[in-house]
Amino acid sequence: MTGTSTPKTYRVKSFGCQMNVYDGERMAELLAAKGISPAADGEDADLVVLNTCHIREKAAEKVYSDIGRLKKADGSKPLIAVAGCVAQAEGEEIMARAPAVSMVVGPQAYHRLPELLDKAVQGERATDTDMPANAKFDVLPQRRRSGPSAFLTVQEGCDKFCTYCVVPYTRGAEISRPYKDLIAEAEKLVENGAREITLLGQNVNAWSGDDAKGQNIGLDGLIRQLDRLPDLQRIRYTTSHPMDMSEGLIAAHGDVEKLMPYLHLPVQSGSDRVLKAMNRSHTAESYLRLLDRFRAVRPDIALSGDFIVGFPGETDAEFEETLRLVDAVRYAAAFSFKYSPRPGTPAAEMDRMIAAEVMDERLQRLQAAVNRDQLAFNQASVGRTCDVLVERKGKLPGQWLGKSPWLQSVHFIGDAAIGDLVTVELAEAGPNSLSGRLLQAAAA
């Protein structure tokens, strides 16, 4: 490959989970620090970063087709970097199969993107999929700007090894970022406009660290410290694992006002046999009892979960147990997926794969049950008065979109601005959003 000129504009396209969104923002900050500007909407970028996800099948195929499609208006190819979890899992294959790619960088190595870019400009192709724990956070530039709702990665990696999942391989072992770095990053985000911070981790509730007094604290301790930032109004966290749930975190939902009444707690299946085969280390019953404890301290808490249908060997009766669990919980939201065999995971080697049409049917039934509960949750909110954090303009004149404390999308018409926390009465409910009546604009 011959050299090229230094790119003037970049675009980062992130797929997958919220942590990838966070990583995408950090990569954008790195590129901006190098003097490269974001490409305007609809305009070509000289450098495209595909920040990929490996969680389910076809992700890698999608990356190759995206690479094939990337072209500038004059027909030339931009510089292409593949980042994220596909880069980690299949970096070498990407380099071999896609000559248009000049940089491959894993989720723990993306702080080295600027060096890879220097090489790429010289015409050299380079891969960096090292996994030095926490190293990237020490060298990333300060946070630049922020929308009203910001992500903050506090924990990364996973030691749980659910038998279907690639994350322990693509993100590495569980690590917690140091307390003082997190407080500093949160302060910067708030200074730059964030009113809500969502703490991120593959197992966010496994976070632990030493506070300013040298005392070991868990996620609840971190949340209690963030609660003291005056201009921060809302705190959320995701994703939790049932096994890492602490007494303290449950209690925080009862007494930390800024901690929003929402809990995303994946369960995957309602069948104990399937849960065991998944290596989930909880049962359906222990999961339900855990949710009871959250409801006891915060009766209005909105619950959300993840499900996999068609795990190898899942029988009709076992799937019915999942439906029964959904009936018992009455989720405010839930995400369900068809099982997808991932190379290198134990489940991919298991017998009794479930036929595609059986999976389709199960997914439809599960989604119908979840949609029913989501609509019911939204309908039960009608008449409530709550705060809405305004995130963007709506399509209609004078219309604004934001989130309720229960993470529902709410639209309303009135006098507001992005970043305002306004008081709204929830007036009408649909399956995916509610309309509200503005009662009180934000205090100036």
Residues in contact with ligand SF4 by CB under 6 A are 158, 160-162, 165, 167-168, 202-203, 241
CB of 65 to ligand F3S, least distance (A): 18
Nearer CB in complex with ligand SF4: 165/332: 165
Is 85 annotated as ligand-binding?
Answer: yes
421 binds ligand F3S (CB under 6 A): no
CB of 431 to ligand SAH, least distance (A): 21
Tally Cβ neighbours within 10 Å of residue 130. Answer: 11
> What does residue 256 show for φ and ψ, rounded to 5 degrees?
-95, 110
Q: Are 332 and 311 in contact (CB under 8 A)?
A: no
55 binds ligand SAH (CB under 6 A): yes
Provide the token pair at 341: 């065999």
Rounded Cα distance, 314 and 86, in Å: 28
CB of 311 to ligand F3S, least distance (A): 18
CB of 16 to ligand F3S, least distance (A): 3
Dihedral angle at the C-alpha atoms of 247, 251, 253, 258, nearest 10 degrees? -120
169 binds ligand SAH (CB under 6 A): no
Nearer CB in complex with ligand SAH: 18/409: 18
**Partner whose footprint covers residue 400, from ligand SAH, ligand SF4, ligand F3S, none (CB < 5 to 8 Å by kind):** none
**Partner whose footprint covers residue 195, from ligand F3S, ligand SAH, ligand SF4, none (CB < 5 to 8 Å by kind):** none
Is 158 annotated as ligand-binding?
Answer: yes
Nearer CB in complex with ligand F3S: 283/335: 335
> What does residue 379 show for φ and ψ, rounded to 5 degrees?
-65, -35
**Partner whose footprint covers residue 161, from ligand SF4, ligand SAH, ligand F3S, none (CB < 5 to 8 Å by kind):** ligand SF4
Nearer CB in complex with ligand SF4: 161/335: 161
Provide the token pair at 90: 């299949």
177 binds ligand SAH (CB under 6 A): no
Task: State which amino acid sits at residue 296.
Answer: A
CB of 173 to ligand SF4, least distance (A): 11
**Partner whose footprint covers residue 53, from ligand SF4, ligand SAH, ligand F3S, none (CB < 5 to 8 Å by kind):** ligand F3S
Is 386 annotated as ligand-binding?
Answer: no
Dihedral angle at the C-alpha atoms of 343, 345, 347, 348, nearest 10 degrees? 10
Among candidates 406, 13, 25, which has minimal Cα distance to 189? 25
Token pair 């391989």 is found at: 169
**Partner whose footprint covers residue 199, from ligand F3S, ligand SAH, ligand SF4, none (CB < 5 to 8 Å by kind):** none
Torsion sign, CA atoms 362, 63, 22, 430: negative
16 binds ligand F3S (CB under 6 A): yes
Q: According to CB under 6 A, which residues from 96 to 125 bind ligand SAH? A: none
Rounded Cα distance, 94 and 21, in Å: 22
Alpha carbons within 13 angstroms on the beta-carbon side of residue 190 total 20
CB of 327 to ligand SAH, least distance (A): 19
Q: Are 56 and 20 in contact (CB under 8 A)?
A: no
Token pair 């890879």 is found at: 116
Size of the site for ligand SAH (CB under 6 A): 16
241 binds ligand F3S (CB under 6 A): no
Rounded Cα distance, 237 and 341, in Å: 28
The three-state secondary structure class of 360 is helix
Tell me the residue length of the chain.
444
63 binds ligand F3S (CB under 6 A): no
325 binds ligand SAH (CB under 6 A): no
Tally Cβ neighbours within 10 Å of residue 268. Answer: 24
Provide the token pair at 2: 């011959």
167 binds ligand F3S (CB under 6 A): yes
DSSP-assigned letter for residue 286: H
Q: Are 144 and 32 in contact (CB under 8 A)?
A: yes
Nearer CB in complex with ligand SAH: 287/339: 339
Extract the annotated binding site for [4Fe-4S] cluster. 17, 53, 85, 158, 162, 165
Contact residues toward ligand F3S (CB under 6 A) are 16-17, 19-20, 53-55, 84-85, 166-167, 170-171
Contact residues toward ligand SAH (CB under 6 A) are 55-56, 164-165, 167, 202, 239, 241, 266, 268, 306, 308, 337, 339-340, 342
